[in-house]
Amino acid sequence: MFEYFICPFLQYGFMQRALFGSIVLSVSCAPVGVFLMLRRMSLTGDAMSHAILPGAALGFLFFGLDILPMTIGGLVVGLLVALGSGVVSRFTVQKEDASMAAFYLISLAVGVLLVSWRGSSVDLMHVLFGSVLALNDEALALIVGIALVTFVAFTIFWRALVAECLDPLFLRSVSRIGGPVHFLFLTLVVLNLIGGFQALGTLLSVGLMMLPAVAARFWSNDVRSLCLIAITIAVASSLSGLLLSYHASMPSGPAIIFCAGAIYVFSALAGRRGMLSSLLRSSRHKTA
């Protein structure tokens, strides 16, 4: 048991760095995913994860796999896509989900073309799927910085974020901070996707954000409890995914998301608000 669960993290520095980066990402991304889920914007997170690709690709195009240019490019383009889709939905007949889908498909295509233009297939795979086992000091510093920003933002604006999430019309009727809080939340989404991009790539970064959040929904209704449960699921997925990738020689990023998906399926079946509980309640009502 010790050799299976503990030794990989004691013997190899890259496993320690991967575990540290994954845990910090879990603590930062999971609460953001909870708010996305409660806002019914789960697919928006997926769209935004693809939307940052052109900016990251431009940074890669001019500076290679340097973290700072790719981060700045991803942040700028991600925010532009979020604002652009919002403007289109506000001033045209198109809904925000449709405009977001259009923007993210264009962004994904442009990003892949840019990386393919100057890079190799290995570079493209690195950008799309990341490499959590290859996190360096710069990537870890970026992930920790994003986690700190997220923690401070949630600490200061917690009530406003909850109010804007559950009843945005009420918040806008009693305060003028509804719009700024919404923009702040979108910024946090983009920042955490950029952090996840360093470890999991643009295609899988949203997985550690959304799968723990939607799995937590089967266990609680309270927002704080949802965030804590989502963080616990994300950490467990990171730990089990890294161990699975090590012992089964699997890609680390997909292994982490696979474990998160397995926990989601279990929660959907056996959770306090899952299918089995619903069936038991229904049978009790019928017998009563």
The domain spanning residue 126 has which CATH number? Answer: 1.10.3470.10
Q: Is residue 7 part of a domain?
A: no
Q: What is the pLDDT of residue 285?
A: 67
Find out whether 100 and 70 touch, Cβ atoms under 8 Å.
no
For residues 89 and 110, what is the distance between their CA atoms, to the nearest angstrom?
22
Which residues are CB-neighbours of 111 under 8 A, at least 6 positions away? 50, 53, 54, 56, 57, 127, 202
Q: Is residue 3 part of a domain?
A: no
Find out whether 242 and 22 touch, Cβ atoms under 8 Å.
yes
- Could you give the number of structural domains in the chain? 1
Comparing C-alpha atoms, which of 178, 245, 202 is closest to residue 71? 202
Q: Is residue 10 part of a domain?
A: no
Find out whether 130 and 200 touch, Cβ atoms under 8 Å.
yes
Which residues are CB-neighbours of 89 under 8 A, at least 6 positions away? 95, 96, 98, 99
Q: Is residue 107 part of a domain?
A: yes
Q: Is residue 13 part of a domain?
A: no
pLDDT over 60 (residue 122): no
Between CA 253 and CA 203, with CA 30 as vertex, the angle to 5 degrees is 35
Find out whether 162 and 152 touch, Cβ atoms under 8 Å.
no
Average pLDDT along the chain = 83
pLDDT over 70 (residue 6): yes
Find out whether 55 and 81 touch, Cβ atoms under 8 Å.
no
pTM of the entire predicted model? 0.87
Structure-token pair, residue 77: 């383009």
Per the rule left: phi > 0, alpha: psi between -120 and 50, beta: everything else, 249 is left
Q: What is the pLDDT of residue 45?
A: 75
Residue 82 amino acid letter: A
For residues 147 and 150, what is the distance between their CA atoms, to the nearest angstrom?
5
Q: Is residue 2 part of a domain?
A: no
Comparing C-alpha atoms, which of 47, 56, 112 is closest to residue 84? 47
Domain extent at residue 255: 19-287
- Tell me phi and psi for residue 140, to 5 degrees: -65, -40
Furthest-apart CA atoms within the chain: distance in Å: 70
For residues 109 and 131, what is the distance between their CA atoms, to the nearest angstrom?
21
Which pLDDT band holds residue 128 (cuts at 50, 70, 90)?
low
Which residue in this structure is represented by tokens 């200061």?
Answer: 156
Q: Is residue 244 part of a domain?
A: yes
Q: What is the pLDDT of residue 129?
A: 66
Q: pLDDT tens, 174-209?
A: 677 777 888 888 889 888 988 888 778 766 788 889
Which residues are CB-neighbours of 248 under 8 A, at least 6 positions away? 255
pLDDT over 60 (residue 20): yes
For residues 208 and 34, what is the distance between their CA atoms, to the nearest angstrom?
11
Burial 61-94 (b: 16+ CB within 10 A, else e): beeeeebebbbebbbbbbbebbebbbebbeeeee
Query: What is the rounded average pLDDT of the residues 86-101?
Result: 72
pLDDT over 90 (residue 225): yes
Q: Is residue 57 part of a domain?
A: yes
